[in-house]
Amino acid sequence: MIRGIHHVAICTPDLDRLAAFYTDVMGFEEVMATSWRDRPIVDRMIGLTNSAARQMMLRTGNAHLELFQYESPVGTVADPDRSPASQGYTHFCIDVIDIDAEYERLSTNGMSFHSPPPTRDEMNGGPIRAIYARDPDGNIVELQEILDPSVPFALERTAMITTPEQEPTE
């Protein structure tokens, strides 16, 4: 029985930089950090030989983001300007409450956008507003604000997280 999607994984040339972006800027929480070297069982599981890597698992709401930095083998550098129309995994989506505020906050903290989010008027009454962005490695991250909570893919409000700027003050 499939229960749902647990995590998305990103391989990066700089684990510390990307982890800081997703924890400090995006508000994810680090739940695990580990590394491996000379682990034949890991090599068998992932289909590599003599692999060595650092790994980190981050959590937000009900999902996780897994980050890897391989020392061995050294991976192929991804094109940071790759098209969202390229085959294979193209993006992951972050559900937000105020897309305009997140656009402004993330624009000043390392995310690049090709345009501001569409306005409600531009959406002509559509149930969502969304925009694509790129993290510091060029990975595409969609920001989505659901305007109509009756859409079948809307998240429950209890699955929300807060970013550091949204933390309650005492």
Show the domains of the chain with their CATH numbers: 7-72 (3.10.180.10), 92-150 (3.10.180.10)
Which run of H or of E encompasses 144?
A: strand 140-146
For residue 86, the SS3 value is coil
Q: Is 21 left (phi over 0), alpha (psi -120 to 50) or beta?
A: alpha
Length, in residues, of the chain: 170
pLDDT in tens, 53-66: 999 999 998 899 99
Q: What is the pTM of this model?
A: 0.77
The confidence band for 5, taking pLDDT boundaries of 50, 70 and 90, is confident
* Res 2: pLDDT: 65
Flag whether pLDDT at 156 surpasses 90.
no
Strand partners, 93: 142
Per-residue pLDDT band for 8 (boundaries 50, 70, 90) equals: very high
